Structure 1
Amino acid sequence: MKQKVLSIALGGFMLAAMLAPTIAEASSKVFYWSFDMDLRAVDGSRNGMYYDLNKGDIDVSGQIWPDKQGVNVRPVSVFVELWRDTLGADTYVGGRTVVPSSTVGTRTKFSFSADGQPADQYYLYFSKAEDDYWDLRGSGSILNDY
């Protein structure tokens, strides 16, 4: 009798486990990036800095700071862009404009997001409209939620 009760209990437990809805856990991965900008642009595709991202949401965050003062009173704005490497012309995913501090070493934070992106290789592109002779540095991360 004891064995029959255990068999029924075990069978009921297994049936409940199979019928219970499965809960999918969200996964994510993080990539870290950095750059030294002594001229007008830093192009991740030319530097071989690609990030293999899964289908899902992408969050880019970081900070930019002047390392050496240039000829202007303050550094010109930096365009921070995320691109998807595709066959033919690459696809612009998103970005933002960052105005660096005019004080050497003072960091300016930024972030932007791109939701629902396909799985592919991506890269960052940093540029200024003109070379103002300010040397800039930057670092940050790319968070891929899938």
Structure 2
Amino acid sequence: MQPASWGQSQVVDASHLLVFANQTQVDATDVDNYITNVSTTRNIPVEALTGYADYMKGAVGNMPDEVKPIWTAKQTYIALSNLLNAAAELKIDVTPMEGFIPAQYNEILGLDKLHLNAALVAAVGYRHADDETQHYVKVRKSNEDLFLTL
């Protein structure tokens, strides 16, 4: 995986490497599967979710095919944010990465055969005590540069 990750060492140094993959195809069947999961998880009759299901099917059905994988890729950031929050609570380090070649990940992991695409990677583990970069001051944009007040 390291060559497909621009040679970054955390890909092989981390105790775990998570690949967040998005669906490349989405249709009404995916909505039905989601609605069934909601029904089962929340103990709600499927019939009570019909309006929501119809709305979602319309939204997904009206989405151009080239936009669907972009939308599903953006959904992976929601899962990443949950990982980051949970890991921070447990004092576990996570390095989110977009610095990799998705097509190579897809080929190596066989994701393309599953109609999936590697969207994000996260190296998970504990930083080494000798890692000097852990003491660097974080570099962030100022609030004035980051936010636009309207």
Instruction: Tell whether the structures are fold-level matches, with TM greater than 0.5.
Output: no
Which is richer in strand? 1
Which is richer in helix? 2
